[in-house]
Amino acid sequence: MASEPVAAAPALAPAAAALGRGRARSRAAWRRRLTILAFLSPWLVGFTIFFGYPLVMTAYLSFTSYDLLSPPRWIGLDNYRYLLSEDVDVWPAVRNTLWIIAIGVPLQVLFAFGVAAMLTRARAGVGFFRTIFYLPALVPPVAATLGFVYILNPSTGPINTVLDRLGIQGPLWFNDPAWAKPSLVLLGMWGIGATMIIFLAALLDVPQHLYESAELDGASALQRLRWVTVPLVSPVLLFAVVLGVIQGLQYFTQAYVAANVAAGAASQAGGSSVLEQGYPEGSTLFYPILLYYHGFRYFSMGYASAMAVLLLAVAFTFTAIVIRQSRRWVHYQGAVR
Amino acid sequence: MRRLVMALAVLAGLVIAAASLAATSSPKAEELEVWVGWSAGHELVEFKKVVSEYDAKNKNVDIKVVGGIVDDKIFAALRSGNVPDVVSSFQSNNVGIFCPSGGWIDLGSYLKRDKINVNIFPAASRYYTQYKGTRCALPLLADTFGFYYNKALFKRAGLTRPPKTFAELSAYAKKLTVKKSDGSLDVVGYNPNALFYHGGAGISTYGTLIGATYFDKNGKSNLSRDAWSRLLRWQKSLIDYYGYDKLVRWQTGAGDEFSASHAFERGKLAMMLDGEWRVAFLKNEHPELKYGTAPMPVDPAHKSAYGSGYVNGTIIGIPKGADHEEEAWKLVKYLTTNDHALAKFSNGIRNVPSTRSSSKSPELIPDKNFSTFLKIFTHPKSATIPITPIGLDHLQTFSNFVAKWNAGDVDDLRAGLQEVDKTIDSKIKQKG
Amino acid sequence: MRRRRFLIAVADHALLIALAVAFLLPVVFIVLTSLMTNDQALSSNLWPAPFRWSNYTDVFSSSPLWRWAMNSFIYASLATIGLLLSSIPIAYAFSRLRWRGRDAVFLVVLIALMLPPQVTVVPLYVMWAKLGLVGTLWPLIIPNWLGDAFAIFLLRQFFLTIPEEYLDAARVDGCGELRILTTVVLRMAKPAIAAVALFSVLYTWNDFFLPLLYVSENPDNWVTSIGLAQFRNLHQVQWNLTMAATVLVMLPVIVVFFLAQKAFVEGVTLTGVKG
């Protein structure tokens, strides 16, 4: 792998020597390029097949009517027209997804932050508490959802039974349109273990002397939080928020499972019994679930593709905006960007 | 050494994967694979019994039955080309997609060749096994909906005969309802929420009872102009009697529809509208329950509809690309037209035999409760739901609306139904 | 003053304990239900009487849980091995090799990370269907052998923290980049690699959407997440057995977590702080 000794050129004329050096260098450069290409090749192949190709195909299919059994039929902008002006199912789905992002994400981030903050103040048993808070995040989402639906069953579930013994009539949880999404947020909050640990690490990373000097300057606890903690933890906050929003845009599993199970419709998951979409009353119909229905239940693959393109546009725009805005308020403590 | 261990681990993994891949690849040559939707307890067992009789008589085929198939799987198989030889579905409406696309093959030539007259099937079953003239399926037993009532609870409430109209039904329901000390529902007389239980067929189970149509002569959605508003108002009045929230609470504790903890089977629901299969379930799971059957009560303005019921059924066909088409057809022909096979299967799962001759077969085990459904099935006003190019999407749209109406979230019923009509029309137009 | 600090400490701990109880409560209820009879599970009883330990064996005899676990294991292990083998060199190329447009291309990698899977799902499904692989685990496994955006991102961030001197020393010794990667970098990046491996195992073990799409039509190849969701179907909802199956599905991950707690926490920390 060693390059040819450039030192073998002393007998030649300077020009020839330069040429020899140049050729050797370009050979080495070629070898370097090949190495880089070799290292990157899986990604290049993967990106083309699993990112480039599907994006192009999705874009193409969005202009067609395609039921997957007959060949796609070109219909131009018709899917988009219907999607943006006539489809009555889409906007409630969009609202649901926006709700879970606008309310679910901040709640979960704040909760994770709060729990982590409390852990930093604890003296005894930090490892023990940390384990307990992280454990639910390890539970498979389907299992966790099944568990929660069972626990929050309005008539036979343990939570309402306990509330009943305390004299409170528990809500209908997953069976009440006003409570279904909050129940899903509760499920999400139960599983914030990973985010919480990241915040914990970031909080512990804040140099203690900054707090001390702030306290000496007369800053209250709240002011210390605002001016010391938050800025120094901001990269992690940004990370958690961005991740949360991206997950919100893809939110599928928990809502799909919870709706089917709570409706009692899941006697056969994937069967098309005509009950409610997004039980109860459409409150758990999120955009990705509607996309799935259109593509894999109503056999409108073309339309599903149009929905997918819209989703991609939103995800991309959001990420670009956040990254751009983040330069203003995120403070990187000397880390390489 | 470490590298060696790693390499071995990778190799082991690959071997396992290859083995699993091999295990799931193509079936043996002489094997006929049959996909059916039945899965619950006895139903799949009974189907397999009928098939094994055929299997024993036909040594050249070896039949493998796969149960629990839902339509998602059928569509996935059709797309991937990885199809069984015979396929069957509970969703007859999907013929609107299977037939025109050729996903299930056109059986017309086979029927002609073997001289089978499709009039052996009743009109409703003929309707839901074809689309626009292409017949790509045949009916394999049928389902019809009727009225079940708990005789013991009736006796306790002093009721002697089943109700015949919605008004009577409401009165009975209120008499039979029992509340717990805290005001929550213990026994519900009748649950008019069509989206709960009702075999998953939802609001369409009430169609014939109000003489309703879904589309008018021009193919436009008709829900706002038809008798549906009367039905919905009646249902809502009974729901409001219980209190919607209380009813939902009761529903969440009512037990899964296809389990032995079904509310009617446990005596927690005094009357219900359900399919004829419940007779077999009751016999297997709660033989001690004293119950009776009758045609479902009807809208007082449509008294002549009494005796009719919603009809649908299992359809069976041959997917495109099946390996052994001729043998598959022979099996399909046997299952759908042979009196003995139909009678045997009907006895087993207590579904209605789908040909006229088999419904009169001496082999059918007489059962007072079951014979109600045989009569409902052949009633001239019994009907099924229209088949559309958007599959069940029109019912889905309607059901979403009914859910909101039941919960009291709709102010103007007429306007709401008109919106539903408009949506359904635009969806059909969009599908082209 | 000391008393005040003591009281505050007690309050903090009390709050923590209350939270811990709230976090554990769902798990406790799930376990309790898994030990009830079906009728009890349907009623509002909170405590099983008697304790039906046999539910756990019933789960195995009444459903192919072993098979599902096997399939999940195959998916998780093959996917993770492939992910590591491909992502490590890629991450190295994005962090320690200098080439034109490197950072711009890395941004493209990040975009792939942000893509909701529903966006690419339709054409990919058609592609796999045409290849005849729908119904098998291959559509789930193969993409991991061509690099995973999250793993690449995480590994790159970590590789960036390795001081250049180590790499230069190896280069001067005449090592090619591949050797540098396998000898110097791998050894120094063990925690990051362990973390990536653990995340991959966790993710694939819990994956529901992709298996639902590709494998649900072939019950032989079901993984635990699908099996669990379908469990109600096979068992006409016996909640007690369903909860027992839930506990069993949770166990392997909890065991792995305890064994690898340190790597987990370090790995999770790496993601956030350097991210």
Residue A335 contacts C, CB cutoff 8 Å: yes
Residue B27: predicted pLDDT: 44
Tens-digit pLDDT profile for residues A190-207: 998 888 887 887 787 777
Residue B1: predicted pLDDT: 52
Separation of alpha carbons B148 and B286, rounded Å? 14
Q: Is B274 helix (H, G, I), strand (E, B) or coil?
A: strand
Question: Nearest CA of chain A to the CA of C117: how many Å?
Answer: 7
The most confident of A191-200, B34-43, B178-187, C165-174, by mean pLDDT: B178-187
**Mean per-residue pLDDT for A310-323?**
81
Angle at A114 between CA A109 and CA A115, to 5 degrees: 100
Residue B314 φ then ψ, to 5°: -80, 140
Tell me whether residues C42 and B261 touch, CB distance under 8 A.
Answer: yes
Q: Is the model more confident about A335 or about A29? A: A29
Percent of chain A with pLDDT over 90: 21
Question: Nearest CA of chain A to the CA of B424: how many Å?
Answer: 10
Residue B412: predicted pLDDT: 94
Contact residues, chain C, for B9 at CB < 8 Å? 81
* CA neighbor of B339 nearest in space, from B360, B324, B313: B360
Residue A171: predicted pLDDT: 92
For residue C70, give the DSSP letter. H
Does the pLDDT value for residue B31 go beyond 60?
yes
* CA neighbor of B400 nearest in space, from A284, A181, A82: A284
Tell whether the torsion through CA atoms of A108, A304, B69 and C202 is positive or negative.
negative
Tens-digit pLDDT profile for residues B371-421: 899 889 888 888 888 888 777 788 889 999 999 999 999 999 999 999 999
Tens-digit pLDDT profile for residues C42-95: 666 677 778 888 888 888 877 788 888 899 999 999 999 999 999 998 988 888
Does the pLDDT value for residue A267 go beyond 70?
no
Tens-digit pLDDT profile for residues B128-161: 999 888 999 999 999 899 999 999 999 999 999 9
Residue C96 φ then ψ, to 5°: -110, -5
Half-sphere exposure of residue B349: CA atoms within 13 angstroms, side-chain side: 27
**Mean per-residue pLDDT for B270-284?**
90
* CA neighbor of B147 nearest in space, from B307, B309, B294: B294
Separation of alpha carbons C90 and C156, rounded Å? 9
**Mean per-residue pLDDT for B54-82?**
82
Separation of alpha carbons C32 and B412, rounded Å? 47
Residue indicated by tokens 């409001």: B240
State pTM to two decimals. Answer: 0.82
Does the pLDDT value for residue A5 go beyond 50?
no
Separation of alpha carbons A214 and C202, rounded Å? 41
Instruction: Please state, rounded to an integer, the average pLDDT across all residues of chain C.
Output: 80
β-partners of residue A54 are none
A121 class by beta-carbon count within 10 Å (0-12 exposed, 13-18 middle, 19+ buried): middle
Tens-digit pLDDT profile for residues A222-233: 788 888 888 878
Residue A27: predicted pLDDT: 79
Q: How many other C-beta atoms can be found within 10 angstroms of the C-beta atom of residue C76?
A: 22
Residue C49: predicted pLDDT: 76
Contact residues, chain C, for A134 at CB < 8 Å? 257, 264
Tens-digit pLDDT profile for residues A78-125: 999 999 988 888 999 999 999 999 999 999 999 999 998 888 877 777
Q: What burial letters (b/e) apply to B88-106, b meaning 16+ CB within 10 Å?
A: bbbbbbbbbbbbbbebbbb
For residue A101, give the DSSP letter. I
Contact residues, chain A, for B432 at CB < 8 Å? 65, 75
Tell me whether residues B249 and A70 touch, CB distance under 8 A.
Answer: no
Question: Nearest CA of chain A to the CA of C136: how many Å?
Answer: 18
Residue A20: predicted pLDDT: 64
Separation of alpha carbons C194 and C53, rounded Å? 36
Separation of alpha carbons B328 and B87, rounded Å? 10
Instruction: Give every CB contact of residue A215 below 8 A, 6+ residues apart in sequence.
Output: A224
Residue A39: predicted pLDDT: 86
Which residue among C89, C117, C229 places its CB closest to the CB of A39?
C89
Which residue among C15, C93, C253 places its CB closest to the CB of A40?
C93
Separation of alpha carbons B314 and B54, rounded Å? 20
The most confident of A289-303, B210-224, C184-198, by mean pLDDT: B210-224
Tell me whether residues B68 and C141 touch, CB distance under 8 A.
Answer: no
For residue B95, give the DSSP letter. H
- The one-letter code for the residue type at C126 is V
Question: What angle, 0 to 180 degrees and rounded to 10, lies between the N-to-C axes of helices C239-259 and A141-151?
Answer: 130
Instruction: Please state, rounded to an integer, the average pLDDT across all residues of chain B.
Output: 87
Residue B147 φ then ψ, to 5°: -105, 130
Separation of alpha carbons C227 and C63, rounded Å? 9
Q: How many other C-beta atoms can be found within 10 angstroms of the C-beta atom of residue A81?
A: 14
Q: Is B36 helix (H, G, I), strand (E, B) or coil?
A: coil
Question: Nearest CA of chain B to the CA of A314: how many Å?
Answer: 25
The most confident of A273-277, B232-236, C93-97, by mean pLDDT: B232-236
Instruction: Give every CB contact of residue A125 below 8 A, 6+ residues apart in sequence.
Output: none
Residue B10: predicted pLDDT: 58
Structure confidence at residue C203 as a pLDDT band (50, 70, 90): confident
Peptide bond into A280 cis (omega under 30): yes
First to last CA, chain B: 65
β-partners of residue B62 are B31
Does the pLDDT value for residue C231 go beyond 80?
no
Angle at B130 between CA C126 and CA A78, to 5 degrees: 45
Instruction: Give every CB contact of residue A141 below 8 A, 6+ residues apart in sequence.
Output: A191, A253, A254, A257, C206, C208, C225
Alpha helices in chain A (DSSP H): 14-47, 53-61, 78-81, 90-99, 105-121, 126-138, 141-151, 158-165, 177-190, 193-205, 208-216, 221-224, 230-249, 253-262, 287-296, 301-329
Residue A330: predicted pLDDT: 59
Contact residues, chain C, for B261 at CB < 8 Å? 38-39, 42
C223 close to C71: Cβ distance less than 8 angstroms: yes
Which residue among B39, B79, B202 places its CB closest to the CB of A69?
B79
Contact residues, chain A, for B258 at CB < 8 Å? 267
Does the pLDDT value for residue C256 go beyond 90?
no
Residue A308 contacts C, CB cutoff 8 Å: yes
CA nearest to A282 within chain B = B400
Residue A3: predicted pLDDT: 40
Instruction: Give every CB contact of residue B22 below 8 A, 6+ residues apart in sequence.
Output: none
* CA neighbor of C134 nearest in space, from B78, A69, B323, A61: B78
